[in-house]
A and B are shown apart, each in its own frame.
Chain A
Amino acid sequence: MPDDTDRRILRQLQADPFASTAELAERAGVSAAVAWRRLEKLTSAGVLESVEAVVDWRALGYGVEVSLRITLNKTQTNAFDEMSAAARLVPEVTEIQTFLGRVDLRLTVLARDMAHYTQTYRDRILTLPHIQDIEQLMLISTVKDEQALPI
């Protein structure tokens, strides 16, 4: 389990993912060597999974984002696996999540515009296996997207 020093360094990294190890060290109040060693250890332990570039899909021409909340026909034993495998083949799908609750599975689907979305929905989504019901939530705006952990 990460200790206080680890958490301080990770907190600084979350606050500024562009910071160098030396800058993180200074802000966390440790030496650069300590920060470097801790980050190496946190990475190899799988605590720090990655620092990723954020792709702005709107700037790439994908102006429509829809969250599809799917109820599966669970009388089919492999419904989750077969659905996930089929959804991986649809390039417009950016997220596949499974849930415990009223919703079984959720997909995030991107499209260039409404015409492209309608076509994707009909040709690639409705043809996915074991769907019992789908609810669509269309993204209007993202108010907060930090995905930072309150450590």
Chain B
Amino acid sequence: MSLDLDDLDRSILRALAADARQPASAIGRSVGLSQPATWRRVKRMEDAGILSGRRVRLNAAKLGFDVTVFLGVKLATKGRSSVADFERAISAVPEVQLVQHVLGAYDYRLRVVARDLSDFERILRRRIMTLPGVGEVEANVLLSEERRPGPIG
């Protein structure tokens, strides 16, 4: 299932992960490949599902979202229906950007954006704590974040 990538593939992936809209010719120039050769490699990685889509990165603070909070949530009642109910309800909250089912001290990790702390409190009390099955919740306020290229770096 996993494709063997060479250094050129990894360079192309890194370039696209930084800016997906640059043309194949520009990526080709930076890695030393022709436009068609670059395009073929991109196509191959798309077909293998390695390039799985695009994501828009907006500056939250400049759009009025000054607070990002990560929540660890434990479900009070477990069982298939309560898990499904919780996942459906939490995913419908627009301020909740990320929902991950995890194994460990918590059942779910959530990433929540808010305009300020009082807005966050409102979202937590009215939209999250009221959901079915929610038990213990731990909140940590994000101070800084840095994304790394990962194993393709």
| Residue interface mask B28-42, A partner, CB < 8 A = 1 | 000000000000000
B140 touches A52 (CB 8 A): no
Interface size class of B (residues with CB under 8 A): 35 or more
Chain B stretch 1-31: residues in CB contact (< 8 A) with chain A: 1-3, 5, 13, 16-21
Q: Which of A55, A101, A145 contacts B98 (CB 8 A)?
A: A145
Given A14-B56, A59-B49, A94-B147, check contact A50 B102 (CB 8 Å): no
A56 vs chain B, min Cβ distance (A): 4
Q: Which residues of B contact A143 (CB under 8 A)?
A: 87, 90-91, 99-101, 108
A130 vs chain B, min Cβ distance (A): 16
Chain A stretch 15-31: residues in CB contact (< 8 A) with chain B: 17-18
Interface size class of A (residues with CB under 8 A): 35 or more
Given A138-B103, A143-B87, check contact A94 B64 (CB 8 Å): no
Chain B stretch 106-137: residues in CB contact (< 8 A) with chain A: 106, 108-109, 111, 113
B56 touches A51 (CB 8 A): yes
Q: Which residues of B contact A (CB under 8 A)?
A: 1-3, 5, 13, 16-21, 48-60, 62-65, 70, 72, 87, 90-91, 94-106, 108-109, 111, 113, 138-153
